[in-house]
A and B are shown apart, each in its own frame.
Chain A
Amino acid sequence: MESVIRAAAIYLFLLLLFRLSGKRSLAQITTFDFVLLLIISEATQQGMLGNDQSLLNAFFVVLTLVGLDLGLSLLKSHLRPLEKWLDDAPLILVENGRPLAERLRKSRVDEEDVLAAARQTRGLERMEQIKYAVLEREGHISIIPQDSAGRHPSSQEDVVLR
């Protein structure tokens, strides 16, 4: 009984914590984020396993974690509002070359992040070449270029640089 309760408690705690810290928290895994993930797994391990080193305990901890994950995904497919709360919803950050300042600020993304994503995924050079930039549910930014991207006039520096 104890192993199931321990694993469920850790699962729900981490779910809540990462949901509250926002979708950008561990979206881009930097070296430090990777180290952080390792430390988190190390810190939760003891609490999850307790003093019981038995094979059966490990089985039930894993079973609880996978079972909860499966159960939640089934529940989410039937309950749309729950899916929204657990997985978040996508958010448009840039619309027709115009960054939406409040949304950027609230989701802790700056224009540089959007431009970096545009360069990396689409080879775009300027903000106005972006038709839509969308902050996806899992935290990465997807870029949809303007139809005219690549043939853009170079006279709009004032829009890009702030």
Chain B
Amino acid sequence: MSAAKAQSLQISQDMAFQRLSWRVQRLGWIIMGLLLVAALVGVFGSGGPLSHSTAGTSGLSVHYQRFARLLGSAEYQLTVPAPQAGLLRLWIDRETLRHIELSTVTPAPQSVQVAQGKVVYSFAAVADGGPLLLTFQGRFSHMGKLRTRMGLVEGPTVEFAQWVYP
């Protein structure tokens, strides 16, 4: 109570620091809460409404991860109208493939060809008019902002950005 009595206890109490530290703590709790909410809505990848997006047009649309994690799974779901010639030829930019270790292409391509600055995947397709679904899976081997480019040979090109967390 009185200053004289308080001094009988040898203690390094610092009320100014204590008040500041409580304030910092409260602020920290708010930030922790906001981080959790952001994680739940998908800002940090690994699911959530904001973690995925779709790019492209009716000629070629790609469902991709807007936010992902290093060494985490990478997946691209492509929707393409069935080609009239019966052969679907799709390319992925070489630079894109340097940042992703592709492991599975579903369905398996008939052939894979290397061209200048890109890799071309060819699929045999039945021309029954319905759209075709292709899936490319792998994992991210680089972090940071990736510019991903892919497209149909003599067709539309899709380009989008992906953010890969460490």
- Chain A positions near chain B (C-beta within 8 angstroms): 16-17, 20-22, 50-51, 84-85, 88-92, 95-96, 98, 103, 106-107, 132, 134, 144
Q: How far is the CB of A80 from chain B (nearest CB, A)?
A: 9
In the complex, what distance in Å separates the CA atom of A140 from the CA atom of B32? 25
B-side binding surface: helix, strand, loop or mixed? helix
Question: Can you list 26 A-B pairs with a CB-CB distance of less than 8 A?
Answer: A16-B28, A17-B32, A20-B25, A20-B29, A21-B25, A84-B17, A85-B21, A88-B21, A89-B13, A89-B14, A89-B17, A90-B11, A90-B13, A91-B13, A91-B18, A92-B6, A92-B9, A92-B11, A96-B1, A96-B5, A98-B1, A103-B18, A106-B22, A107-B22, A134-B9, A134-B11
User: Would you call B103 an interface residue if the criterion is a C-beta within 8 Å of the partner chain's C-beta atoms?
Assistant: no
Question: What residues of B have a CB within 8 angstroms of the CB of A89 in the complex?
Answer: 12-14, 17-18
Is the CB–CB distance between B14 and A84 below 8 Å?
yes
Complex Cα–Cα for A82 and B12 (A) = 14
Chain B 1-43, CB-CB to A under 8 Å as 1, else 0, gives 1000110010111100110011011001100100000000000
Q: Confirm or deny: B71 has a beta carbon within 8 angstroms of a beta carbon on chain A.
A: yes
Docked Cα-Cα span, A35 to B17, in Å, equals 33
**Which chain B positions have C-beta within 8 A of A95?**
1, 5-6
Contacts of B13 in A (CB 8 A): 89-92
Supplied contacts A89-B14, A90-B12, A95-B1, 12 more A-B pairs, CB within 8 Å: A20-B24, A20-B25, A20-B28, A20-B29, A21-B25, A89-B12, A90-B11, A90-B13, A92-B11, A95-B5, A96-B5, A144-B9
* B residues in contact (CB < 8 Å) with A: 1, 5-6, 9, 11-14, 17-18, 21-22, 24-25, 28-29, 32, 71
Chain A positions within 8 Å of B71 at CB level: 50-51
Closest residue of chain B to A80, judged by CB?
B12
A21 surroundings in chain B (CB, below 8 A): 25
Q: How far is the CA of A17 from the CA of B28 in the complex (A)?
A: 8
Q: In the complex, what distance in Å separates the CA atom of A132 from the CA atom of B24? A: 26
- The verdict on A22 contacting B6 (CB below 8 Å), with A95-B1, A98-B1 known, is no
